Chain A
Amino acid sequence: SQKIEQNSEALNIQEGKTATLTCNYTNYSPAYLQWYRQDPGRGPVFLLLIRENEKEKRKERLKVTFDTTLKQSLFHITASQPADSATYLCAPASPPSGGYNKLIFGAGTRLAVHP
C-alpha cells in the first residue's frame, strides 16, 4: 500500500538557519506533490505544489525539490523565523480517473524555530 514518511521527530533549529524537512514515499508514483502548513487548532494551509517534471520550485523563502528516482521531496525554509514554527505536511498525489484531487497526507513534521 502507499506509504508516506516524514521526519517523526520534531525539528528544532535556531532563527536564521535553514530548515530542511523530508518527505519519502513508497509504492507510489505521484504526478505532483503538495506541501501544507498546519498550526495548532487550525486546518492545513497550502504552501507549494511541485510537478513530477519539475526538479525545484521556489516561493519567497521556501524551496521544494522533487526527486522521482529517490521517491523523495525536500522542503526548505531559508532564514527561518519563529513565526515559521508549525507542522508541515506533504501530500503526494495523482488524480484518479475520476479527476478529483484526493490528498493522502504524511503524518507531518513539527518545526520549532528558536530565537
Chain B
Amino acid sequence: GAGVSQSPRYKVAKRGQDVALRCDPISGHVSLFWYQQALGQGPEFLTYFQNEAQLDKSGLPSDRFFAERPEGSVSTLKIQRTQQEDSAVYLCASTLTGLAGIETQYFGPGTRLLVL
C-alpha cells in the first residue's frame, strides 16, 4: 500500500510569508508525528497527534508554528511569518495504533523549506 506522503516536496518562501505543509499518513494509522530536521542533524520532535487530538506540542519552537489534524487523517503544519531559521526539512511520520509500547514509525519523504 501507499506510504506516508508529504507535499510540497520543496518550498521556497520569502521571510515573513506564511507556509502550509501537508502530510498524508498511511491509511488507518492512528498516530501522527511532525519532526524538524536541520542540515546534518537528526530529526527533532515537534508535535504529536492521536487521531484528531494534539496530545503533545512541546517541540513547536514558537507560537508561529501551528499543526492540525481535523479529521484524524491528513495533517497540516503551518508556519506563520517565516524566518530564516525555519529553513529545514519537515518530516511527518505515522504509526498504527499509538498505544503504549513500541511501534515502528513510518516516515514521509519530507518537505524541504528554504526561507530567503
Contact = CB atoms under 8 A, between A and B. Distances in A.
Interface of A: 4, 32, 34, 41-46, 49, 51, 89, 91, 93, 95, 98-108
Interface of B: 4, 31, 33, 35, 40-45, 48, 50, 55-56, 91, 93, 95, 98-110
Given A43-B93, A43-B107, A100-B56, A105 B99 contact: no
B56 A95 contact: no
Residue among A41, A89, A101, A102 having the largest count of chain B Cβ atoms under 10 Å: A101
Given A32-B102, A101-B31, A101-B105, 18 more contacts: A4-B42, A44-B43, A49-B104, A51-B102, A91-B42, A93-B102, A98-B55, A99-B98, A100-B31, A100-B48, A100-B56, A101-B95, A103-B33, A103-B45, A103-B105, A105-B44, A107-B41, A108-B42
A106 B105 CA distance: 16
A37 to B, nearest CB: 11
A105 B40 CA distance: 12
Contacts of B95: 101
A106 B41 CA distance: 8
